[in-house]
Amino acid sequence: MVARRLAVSHNDDTFDVDYDTDDGFEVLKYQLFSLTSVPPDQQKILGRDDQIVSDESDLASISDKLRLVSIDEVEEEIVAEEKEKLENLAMSDEELARLIQAEEEALMMQHFVSRESKEQVEQWIQQYVNQVQMYEDPHRQEMARKTVPVDKLEEKALISLGREGNYKPTKVEQDNAFLLQLLFWFKQSFRWVNSPPCDSCGNDTRSQGMGVANSSETLYGASRVELFRCNSCSNITRFPRYDDPLKLLETRKGRCGEWANCFTLYCRAFGYDSRLILDFTDHVWTECFSPSLGRWMHLDPCEGIYDNPLLYEKGWKKSLNYVFAIAKDGVHDVTKRYTRKWPEVLSQRNIISEPSLAAVLSDITRELRKTLSAEVISALEERDRIEKNVIEQELHRKDDSSVSLPGRLSGDKEWRIARSEFVSAEKNSLSSSSCPVRKCIDDHVTNIYSAFSPVLSKLIEYSPSKKAAAEILEIFRKILVDLKNSPFRTRRISVKSVSSSSGDIFSKMLASFDQLLNALSLKSELGVNGSIDICLASDPVKTSVALPVMFHALDDVIYNIGQCARLDSRSLSWPLLKLNRLCSGLVLASGEELPFGVATCAFDGTRMSKWEEPNGAAGCWIIYQVADNRMVELVAYEFMSANDAPERDPKDWVLEGSENGGSSWHLLDKQTSQMFDKRFQRKAFTVSSPGYLSNAFRFRFLAVRDKNATSRFQIGSIDLFAGSS
């Protein structure tokens, strides 16, 4: 640890910043943001001789006097161009010379070992071209669309955008979000086959070699059939390797070939410009052109991972040679997109010389485009040219060392070990040790918590027992469940009368639920037959985002009612009544899991997510900056345990507040030897040192439940409660 006091000038002001270099560059930018209101992505920090200070700088030895400049959009572009130039020029002359020499040696070696099997390479590629052309069949596309729960995926896509604060996405944004939901759905709906279960008794089988395909199997392109003998009844089970994606829509099983084949059909069925990616070291996946990114995007349906082309070389430790993109209108060598070790890869490309390979791909592409108009061909060639330039630039770009890519997830453990693609479960994830500042889109969570106040007050007014109060809330929950199961764009349900004392009370106090309905973007209105209907009041996506929070909050309120000695006016206090929850703040953490365990997941109010820190068992932290830099007194907070892995639960931690946005910290609370007895358990804590006004809070998690069993930290949710203003 190196403690620094930095004098940072901005416009006409100078700020003294106490800074611990172990916290990393992002924390320094976050501190400056809290002092100057210049967002981290708009900051240009200059040191001695106006040298740019970045995350690659030696933060322990930088000048004590820094200058902060706020860059506008034009300056941002200039800085980005300068950064790219610096990255491209980052190699020394000696390193560049070694790279060029390695490429020349690889090409020379390739000249001697390549067998010039031009026809064989062309045959290999052509069979995949034939396969890709099946994706253009309208019947296959229609059959594919019929198997997809389109409404549910559209809702999930819009929810994912809504959780980022984007409730009015463009069509391009919606299409991109839907594609990712299609990927996640396919990952859950398609089944990986190591060895199929016995057709006769369902028990495990073992390989018995290959068999001859019968007529019904060859009808769908199964030129290979694997045979498996049952370990129990000795029955032989056949596993045809179908090439026709139409058959795969029915079987929904296979290995990477079947997965990528079927998923690429789905992508084409929904109009995405797609291509099948063939890796000669035995893997297949998909690419789709992303208008929002302006480039092709990598999608691996077997792994459920997207836009991480270095997954195979960096995560799986593959030694690549040839990677081809095969589409209906062209075939391209995209190996350079998937490697940062081009000279090494080049030395392994010994099937055909580079000029001959280029000629083969050019001939196939020309043939595929011969019926297209000159205008379309020109547009495709321009896109090809841009792609080639982008790939060349990326090839020499420095890898982001903060991002950790997983080993292979698909296939059984023994198979992955045999292929040298296995990584232990603790390390087998996509994660980052460099977390950007993220904004919490969680005002709906606070609104829901606050809206329980009139409901609980009315319950006490009617003086029901704790059991009756829980029954009334369960009636409301049942209404919301029925509403959730209705089409999300037109949600509406009639409130049916319940013939019980609790049902009578619910009917009388229905108006007290209006604030809760409003928090869900719902309203009650008179139905056609005099009934009361619950329906949408505004954007249906806001309702979709808020409903899971409501269900989990209802469960918590019902539980807390059960914990009360009796339900009366004295019960209307925390934690039953959760008022003044902080929301809409900014969050920064020591690390996070991508894309589902990011830092803001700790504040989204649902059990379906969590913040996960891959290296957090040894210690980690999360900072919450209060919205609008307001000064508040924190009086209480709640933690909820995550869905699994109790060994990752927080055990010891320190809570600190800051009056200057993180330049210095004041101890607010300390907890040791805390244990969560079950999953999704909430534990409430009052701040042991209240009365300190802060605009930022920091949790430093010092120990997990069992640091010997895990390297990870996780928490389901964090709720912060301020005192009454």
Report the catalytic residues: 256, 283, 300
CA 696 to the chain's CA centroid: 26
| Count of beta carbons in the 10 Å neighbourhood of residue 313 | 19
Cis peptide before 595 (omega within 30 of 0): yes
Q: Contact 643/714 with Cβ under 8 angstroms?
A: no
Least Cα distance to 72 among 83, 64, 80, 62 occurs for 80
67 strand-pairing partners: 9, 46
296 alpha-carbon distance from chain centroid: 19
610 — phi, psi (to 5°)?
-160, 155
Strand partners, 81: none
Q: What does the longest C-alpha to C-alpha distance in the chain come to? A: 91
Chain-centroid distance, C-alpha 257: 25
Tell me the H-state helices in 89-212: 93-113, 118-133, 138-146, 150-162, 171-189
**Closest to 134 (Cα-Cα) out of 245, 32, 51:** 245
How many residues are given for the chain? 725
Cα distances from 497 to residues 452, 479, 502, 523, in angstroms, run 22, 11, 11, 18
**Contact present, 276 and 288 (Cβ < 8 Å):** no
Q: For the purposes of burial, counting CB atoms within 10 Å of the CB of 413, is it exposed (0-12), middle (13-18) or buried (19 or more)?
A: exposed
Q: Which residues contact 310 (CB under 8 A, 6 or more apart)?
A: 338, 339, 340, 399, 405
Classified as helix, coil or strand, 69 is strand
CB count, 10 Å around CB of 572?
Answer: 15
Alpha carbons 562 and 469: distance in angstroms, whole number? 9
- Give me the phi and psi of 656, to 5 degrees please: -125, 150
